[in-house]
Structure 1
Amino acid sequence: MDASVDDDATLMLAYARGNTAAFDTLYARHRGALYRFLLRTARDPQLAEELFQETWSRVIASRTRYAPQAKFTTWLLQIAHNLLIDHHRRKRPVATGEEAERVFEHTAAQEHEQPEHVLSDFERRRRLQMAIEQLPDEQRTAVLLRLENDLSVEEIAEVTGVGRETAKSRLRYAMNRLREQLAE
């Protein structure tokens, strides 16, 4: 395990004692992954931004109650996931594939690659993204937590608030579905 992951809890505890530089380090380390998770699960850039800000607000508000029982990343993603679930309960969002398209528009080709390779890589990423978009919400969340945040089945279960076997099942069904769609 990366040493930087191990010291996230130490940084959070230091922040709880008033060390704002520790928070800055945590924020810099985790903002990208958190925003990507929210953008891809919410499928709405404006909502993702709102939830991103609210997640960090919750981290700040609960700094004195923080207890390193799980990895900081797991705790952070659990807060974000719970906020997303709360939003879904209040208002079911209308999902379109346009947001996913915009995510990949920002992927620039490396100068050294041949155009036909860039196109095929782009097409593969696009097909995977579109296949992920078509998954049911619970399966999509499990896949994104696994692929983008490299969480274990146990951590996915913790973030989503379900049992280990349920998380494992969602991940298995999602991966099978993705394999089928990408094989077509």
Structure 2
Amino acid sequence: MDSPKPQDVATWLTENLGALHTFMRRRESNPQTAEDLTQKLAEQILKSEASGTRIENIGAYAWRAAHTTLVDHYRAKAQIPLDEVGDDFPGQREPAEHIHELRALLHPEIKNLPKRQKQVIWLRYYEGMRSREVAGVLGIAEVTVNNYHHLAIDRLRVALAKRGVTELEGALEH
């Protein structure tokens, strides 16, 4: 019995370019910039394949590359807004405008968090680190990182509930 043939990269990109653009648009408020980032991402993936990079799972490779492209974009602009870059992947059905509204509401609330909670949120959602990695960076136990994370999420939910927002879906995932 033959093993399944890996999906062709170009075919996968053709079928999923719209989803990649939606992913970019949810995180970049300028529609033209989101389109440019999507095109840059597609070109990078095709160049990687052409250079001989073996891509076993094109879906996982593409979504990780999409996240990296956004992080690089914000680093290059020297504007790294925590509320714009997340590590959540497609699957949510909310429109991009709703996501941007939630993130705009979250931004001042994140600024009001205690220092350690803010650091944990930054490292988890902007840097895309796991709890263990955050613990290493901050020099604290992993269980402490998880506690700070849960406290921060709870504070953000309470703050947004006071504004009439009852869910953080799409703005932060945990």
User: TM-score normalised to the size of structure 1?
Assistant: 0.48
Structure with the bigger percentage of helix: 1
> What TM-score results when the alignment is normalised by the length of structure 2?
0.50
